[in-house]
Structure 1
């Protein structure tokens, strides 16, 4: 501290390696329709550019109509409704499916965003009229991608790196959702979610339960239910997370540790110094009681073999009828691409 305030001769550093960064809009292929169940492909064919996909976003224009194709005052969107308008969203590099990148530019690579419209828009809306049907009419979709223009000295450095023919490594964090359509009406449940390899073992696992909401227009599909869940355990082969046997009680409001696990996710996942959760404690309990398990710290010496992912959870009462379980797995993925040969492969 003393050195900093006494260093009056310190030079001011000016970063001029990037001379410009501006957004360009990319539309879908010509004659693409934006209706239910349609596939929407948005390509970036130009390869002689530097792009920053981590800062890109989707721009939509549309309107919410009732079954008579008119505006209705009783219709409204659910939280994060755009996610419910699509069954699948894929990001592809030269045809290889990847997810989100680290904060680095991509050089000389063909990119494509693929969106599959949901067969129905019912999960994206909520209404007070049980007989009312809704339709979301999209008439414009654009992919807004930053183009980065670098200084000449940086351009020469990047070109030399490309000419060497080296494979460039990109680390991705993949989000993979699994669904257990209908849980048995018991108090103990075991879910063998999947088996994976050591390179793509989970870093975070999020469990959510939802009772009788999907496809019902008077219920909010973006909300989840606690179903009187009392304990959750994640098994990665023989390793268990969390270590302690945590017991929750939603009736007695013994759920502070559960909220703390949710709040700490933001800090651990985004490498932030402090956590700023999107949901208050009250909203968390009423709207989205998510069970977030941090398993990011593991033995990394094993590079081969499979990892069996299993969830075991108990409830105080039998799970209600028509209850669905969702498991969101966040795992690492490493991709190598060669800017000279324009090839991409998943490690």
Structure 2
């Protein structure tokens, strides 16, 4: 089937969003109307003896995933309860309620979950703790008859997006609701000095969960177990489209109505043909299915779009091999200074500073998490790339200043660029194999403020018009495809070993104004102990200030930096730095040696010369070689800072990018 034009796709998306967000009548479709009519004319029989109460109390449990088979574990139940799903005890139901009334009541039990848009089924738990979907339900009496004394399990028609449940935000990331519903998972940290708490930068709208990471050529861990025959792909195309987060203007009450007959077996072709006409999106749809009788009150329209996205998934996304390592986030937007007569321009690494968090999930499991990607990618890029990489970094937004605005068209104020996943995540940098038959999600959280993305004399309005996740598809030859299918047919499941590295960002908001300071970063397992530590000092007022460059670091008069992993100290010798007298060769050697140690290059190619390094220094501690005893115990991670001056400068913060295996 030929691919439709972009206009047709946009019309379909708008119509589907409108259908998903519109309210329907009491009877979403003809079947609901028939069920209610049957209930009204059903003969009511009463047995002798005590009259049965019209009300009943039942426990209700909402799953997040659509493909659940068994009752979840206690840990998963607690997780769902913390995220506004899970169990609702002693919910009241009326025995005479019809199916629409039951659904409406369950919607009210979970107000923060868009069940009215996703849809759901009811289920029960059998003796083997397996979830069984209820069938032939016409009233609450039918539900009670099938579940007996058990609980009611709510199974969504599609996986519930966590970002929609946790916090409803607008495009700028500004909160719409209070923070009381935001889950906070505080990790248990053992500290030698309880009075000095660990300071780690975590945005307010982000859960404090640490991700498991892995390093090549070291021990690996089986992190993903996927069911191969099941894709579980979301209807959102290419992972960048969420119909429930679009705001589409509603149609006026007097909008023209148009009758649309759809063939269930060929829904996509019918819709592509229908939306190829102009001005169709301005009309109200009344949907009927071929060879079926029904009255559309909105429910049939939603059902039609559900069928459409399911068919698109089967036709275009089934059996695709995706090259995630070479994928990138494409961004388009507008940058308009408030006063065009004054100086204002996009700053270095502007695109990465548009986000507060970027998270990659595979099969529902978190694979890679980048907090504060602007500062994280700045620190990693300054030590990883050399002069030959400058052309590659142009479209990323690297090196932008007042005289260099290669991604911005000044007359039209439009900009465009890309953020390769290799630039953002160690997973894409290390794992370069194709991935198939598993759901993949890329979650982006927009920054609360865009002031780190530009510099100038006046404020500016930054608008993001388009964000797309572009992924290259791998088309194997027939012989290779046959080998792959034979592998899939041998087993229904496969354990995939993912070995990769990533950087976790930590921030000390203010170093003590003393001659020395010790920062207890965290206590972690031997698996997550760091191999490299990247340290950068900045002034505290360097963030969210259009007059300051958010990618500039200072030496802060530091004399020595030492890393403690339990009793092991790195580096063994003190550096005894003095930047004012240019006694900084030891720190520059650690900087230029990083590429040889980390990437295995014969000769490192640092991005900065020694003079540039003195103006914008980063301090690297190589702790890759560790004793065997460190591999079997928990690890306390601490940093010690010393200065030649009487005290560190006031309002100095410290960024740490810890490279974990």
TM-score by length of 1: 0.79
1:177-218 alpha-carbon deviations (Å, 9 max, x no partner): 001111221120101111111111111111111013112221
CA deviation string 1:116-152 (max 9, x = no partner): 111111112111x2xx212321101111111111223
CA spacing shift, 1:135–1:279, aligned 2, 3 Å: farther
Which residue among 215, 224, 232 is the counterpart of 2:561?
A: 232
Tell me the residue number matched to 2:576. 247
SS at match of 2:589: helix
Aligned to 1:117: 446
Note if contact 1:229-1:248 (Cα within 8 Å) is conserved in structure 2.
yes
- Inter-CA distance 236–72: structure 2 relative to 1 (3 Å threshold): farther
Contact 1:35 1:137 in 2 (8 A): no
> Where does residue 618 of structure 2 map in the other structure?
290
Matched, 1:220 2:356: no
Query: What CA distance in whole angstroms lies between the structure 1 residues aligned with 2:601 and 2:326?
Result: 18
Cα displacement string for residues 47-68 of structure 1 (whole angstroms, at most 9, x for unaligned residues): 52111211111111112122x4
Query: What is the aligned counterpart of 1:179 among 501, 507, 526?
Result: 507
CA distance in 1 between counterparts of 2:603 and 2:476 reads 33
Q: Is the 8 A contact 1:203 1:295 kept in 2?
A: yes
Out of 188, 199, 209, the position equivalent to 2:537 is 209
Contact 1:34–1:139 at 8 Å: present in 2 too?
no
Deviations 1:22-69 (A, max 9, x none): xxxxx9x98799732179x96277452111211111111112122x4x
Q: Does 1:88 align with 2:357?
A: yes
What's the counterpart of residue 239 of structure 2? Answer: 43
Alpha-carbon offset, residue 235 of structure 1:
0.8
What is the CA distance between 1:97 and its match in structure 2? 1.4
1:138-172 Cα shifts (integer Å, max 9, x gaps): 10111111111122332233334443433110112
**Aligned match of 1:316:** 644
**Matched residue SS, 1:172:** coil
Q: Structure 2-normalised TM-score?
A: 0.43
The 1-side partners of 2:479 and 2:626 are apart by: 41
Count of aligned pairs: 298
1:59 matched to 2:330? The reply is yes
- 5+ residue gaps, structure 1, are 1-26, 333-347
Partner SS, residue 52 of structure 1: strand
Larger relative contact order (C-alpha < 8 A, sep ≥ 6)? 1
SS of the counterpart of 1:171? coil
Instruction: Tell me how far apart the structure 2 counterparts of residues 312 and 304 of structure 1 sit (CA, whole Å).
Output: 24
Pick which of 161-170 and 109-118 moved more.
Answer: 161-170
Structure 1 pair 160/239, CA: closer, same or farther in 2 (3 Å)? farther
> What CA distance in whole angstroms lies between the structure 2 residues aligned with 1:291 and 1:187?
18
Shift of 1:256: 1.6
Equivalent residues of 1:63, 1:138 under 8 A apart: yes
Structure 1 residues 125, 226: closer, same or farther in 2, change over 3 A? same
SS in 2 for 1:55: strand
2 CA distance for matches of 1:243 and 1:150?
51
Q: What does residue 74 of structure 1 align with? A: 343
Q: Which whole-Å CA distance do the structure 2 matches of 1:143 and 1:52 have between them?
A: 12
- Please say if residues 98 and 172 of structure 1, whose CA atoms lie closer than 8 Å, have aligned partners that are also in contact: no
Distance 2:515 2:470 in 1: 47
SS in 2 for 1:251: helix
The equivalent of 2:40 in structure 1 is none
* Larger proportion of strand: 1
User: RMSD value over aligned CA atoms?
Assistant: 2.5
Structure number, greater radius of gyration: 2
